[in-house]
Amino acid sequence: MENDQITFGSVTRWLKIKHLVLVNSLAKTRNMHTTAEHMNVTQPAISKLLRDLEVLLGFPLFERQTRNLVLTELGEFVARYARITLEDTESFVDQVNKLRRGGHGHLKIGTIFAATSVVLPEAIASIKRERPLLSIEVIEQTSNHLLEMLEQKKLDLIIARFTDEDCQPFEFTPLGPEPFCLVANSAHPLCQLEVVPTEALSEWPWVMYPFNTPIRQRMERAFTKFKIVPPTNTVETISMQTFLQLLQSGPMLAMLPESMVQSHLQNGQLQILDTPFKVESQDYGVITRKDEPLSEPTRTFIATLLEFARQRQTATEKKHRSHPRQSR
């Protein structure tokens, strides 16, 4: 077979998991004896299995040296395939065992930072009470990065901000609006003013989201609308922790989601500035790939998210009716 190309059909007929275990183990140990012990077979059996595999592939996987084995260039490619396939197989076995014990698979969620302080924790706690063996992985990033990961099928769903341009290949289900507020630490000189004039905002340093994020783009449009010179003394970050630390460390301003700063407003660390400058709220919600069936855990989790979002929206509306001045 040395001069013939291998085919998919031929590989599926003779390639076995034990071949992949052999290559993976030899790539790690570089030693026939250690691999034989690992696979619980004799060293001659290991030698024959490797020789048969190399004949079937049509090229050597290892160079035999005095003390160890060294992967050939093609051998490195085969070893990488063996490692990835075995990792996938291990994950498959783990998921099957969880399902047999009453588990519910794996859910990989991408989320913007604001959602982690709103409906996401409640929804996760709720579904984990019902399905304790459901494995949930949460990845926090900006909306544009999450959309890329969703399109590449690295995530099952994302909770992110919605724009018509971004969501052409996706389905969007709104969870609610995300209002923003302009904040500073309570010792900031602007906090002494009843109303902060818009022209004063450019005179202070800002902490801002990067330019390629939806909120930053809307802020730039708001600067234009209110005829404000965009600040040049800025620090850009997507880290909420960095936002808060910088706001506390000096006289800086930041436009942040209200949900993310509520606790800091309540304990007096931050204060909302009363100013005509506003950035319009934007819906955030659940985004999935269009025309692709959702797994049962994904459907259940989305339903849970929507229910908690509905409850939160009802509570917010009730609070606004009861305390209109406080909720402003």
The domain spans of the chain are: 8-100, 106-177+283-322, 180-279
Whether the CB-CB separation of 276 and 198 falls below 8 Å is answered with yes
Mind listing the pLDDT tens digit for each residue in 225-270? Answer: 999 999 999 999 988 889 999 999 999 999 998 878 888 898 999 9
- Residue 22 one-letter amino acid: L
Separation CA 48–CA 97 (nearest Å): 33
The CATH classification number of 106-177+283-322 equals 3.40.190.10
Average of per-residue pLDDT across 169-186? 88
How much is the pTM?
A: 0.55
Nearest one of 49, 115, 141 to 259, comparing CA atoms: 115
Confidence of residue 325 (pLDDT cuts 50, 70, 90): very low
CATH class for domain 180-279?
alpha beta
**Is the pLDDT at 192 greater than 50, yes or no?**
yes
Rounded Cα distance between 222 and 251, Å, is 22
Confidence grade of residue 324 (pLDDT, cut at 50, 70, 90): low
> What's the pLDDT band for 276 if we cut at 50, 70, 90?
very high
Cβ pair 252, 206 in contact under 8 A: yes
Q: What does the pLDDT read at residue 169?
A: 82
Q: What is the pLDDT of residue 101?
A: 64
Higher pLDDT, residue 103 or 113: 113
DSSP secondary structure letters along 182-238: EEEETTSGGGG-SS--GGGGGGS-EEE--TTSHHHHHHHHHHHHTT-PPPSSEEE--
Of residues 127 and 98, which shows the higher confidence score? 127
Q: Picking from 53-57, 100-104, 109-113, 180-184, which range would have the lowest pLDDT averaged per residue?
A: 100-104
Fold match flag (8-100 vs 106-177+283-322): no
Domain 8-100, CATH among 3.40.50.1950, 1.10.10.10, 2.40.70.10, 2.60.40.10: 1.10.10.10
Model pLDDT, residue 295: 86
